[in-house]
A and B are shown apart, each in its own frame.
Chain A
């Protein structure tokens, strides 16, 4: 049983077909890395999985239950809201709420959801911030934190809603090279704790080390997929070889 299964996802913006039928699945505790050239559709795929865009066609299932079907688009906002909680999302630009402290950023959504008692929410938030190495920064505002620290708060914030699957869109791409490490370490640690994750990344070394599966997206389709060793050690398609060659 796959925790997440995407079948035949398609998505167009106007006349431009960005996703042309994408299928993949991941098992609980796995880390899936998505790589590929710019404009290939990686962000669009992740946004469709998180319902920030609605896929035109295809289905998305969580634990074998279809929660989104592109062929019947009349799904209500409330239904989307309920279903999307299976997924968490960390953005390239962090998107922290500037008027709240790190701790308040983490507790806001759980509090508004009223799914847990307040003291439990607070305890868990402090615990999450400690796990991303920011116990001493929890009362700071985002403008007082470095990019790497902000991104770690964003990870804690996403985890606070206890998603089944955590998605990242190039989590280190807007960071200075010398601080990408602190964010990658946190993600790696989550992987070791068997957090199910989907990570779009340009950090090939990181993908190779942390991912259980890698998919290579080019031109809106999965051009190749496999284990990190297959993808990086023995690329089959010309396109993947070119891509890997171009970034080394």
Chain B
């Protein structure tokens, strides 16, 4: 029985990791782009982005998942996500990436705004372009500064993946809970905690390594 449970949980956790990794891959760059929008000198763009940040951060991710999945169908009369498990998985990714990108964008903005003006000016007087100043001077300093708050969000993301089941994406908690109905067992559900702990532990180690790598400057 133990092996059956573990095999099943591992399948579920595979999905969890998939959501986690793909969300990061999408939300990390998208968040940076959104942060540029939120700092834009073009007022209407800035206003729209700020409004979106307010909406996304001010409503539960669970609700966003439902809206993203069912919304297009209700509004346009077609399910844009495709059918079956795959469609639901894509919808989950879309909702997670949007949600986390907006959260990340605020962290990026805080980091970018914390870089002293003198860094930009030193780049400018040396004839660097805005792009070169951002990528060659500012970015690494921003990464160093945002690593702690970013780490918190990333750990939260690991746990938030369990919300995917709201629109019936099979992940590890669901896998554990199934055993209550099918075999009257409660411990498989508790066992899922071990998976989460192992994974968040790993994430923390990786973040710690990066932090240490960047500790050579301040």
Contact = CB atoms under 8 A, between A and B. Distances in A.
Interface of A: 50-52, 77, 81-82, 84-85, 87-89, 91, 93, 95-99, 108-109, 112-113, 141-143, 157-158, 161
Contact of B127 (A52, A85, A96, A98): A85
Contacts of A161: 126-127
B122 interface: yes
Contacts of A50: 125
Contacts of B141: 98-99
18 contacts: A52-B125, A77-B130, A81-B129, A84-B124, A84-B125, A84-B127, A85-B127, A89-B125, A91-B121, A95-B118, A98-B217, A99-B140, A99-B144, A108-B137, A109-B123, A112-B128, A141-B217, A157-B126
A87 B125 CA distance: 8
Closest 9 CB pairs of A and B: A109-B126, A95-B118, A95-B122, A89-B125, A98-B217, A99-B217, A99-B140, A85-B127, A112-B132
A154 B137 CA distance: 15
Contacts of A52: 121, 124-125
Contacts of A85: 127
Interface residues of B, number: 22
A112 B218 contact: no
Interface string B45-68: 000000000000000000000000
Contacts of A108: 126, 136-137
Interface in B167-218: 216-218
A108 B121 CA distance: 15
Nearest to B119: A95
Given A108-B137, A142-B217, A157-B126, 8 more contacts: A52-B125, A84-B124, A95-B121, A95-B122, A97-B122, A99-B217, A109-B123, A112-B136
Contacts of B121: 52, 89, 91, 95
Residue of A51, A87, A96, A108 ringed by the most chain B CB atoms within 10 A? A108
A156 to B, nearest CB: 12
Contact of A91 (B122, B127, B128, B144): B122
Contacts of A97: 119, 122, 137
Nearest to A108: B136
Nearest to B122: A95
A56 B64 CA distance: 50
Contacts of A89: 121, 125
A81 B125 CA distance: 8
Contact of A93 (B118, B130, B218): B118
B191 to A, nearest CB: 44
B126 A143 contact: no
Nearest to A111: B136
Contacts of A84: 124-125, 127
Nearest to B126: A109
Contacts of B136: 108, 112
Nearest to B214: A99
Nearest to A90: B125
Given A52-B121, A95-B119, A143 B218 contact: yes
A157 B130 CA distance: 19
B217 to A, nearest CB: 4
Contacts of B137: 97, 108
B171 to A, nearest CB: 39
Nearest to A110: B126
A85 B141 CA distance: 25
Contacts of A87: 125
Contacts of A96: 122
Interface in B110-146: 116, 118-119, 121-130, 132, 136-137, 140-141, 144
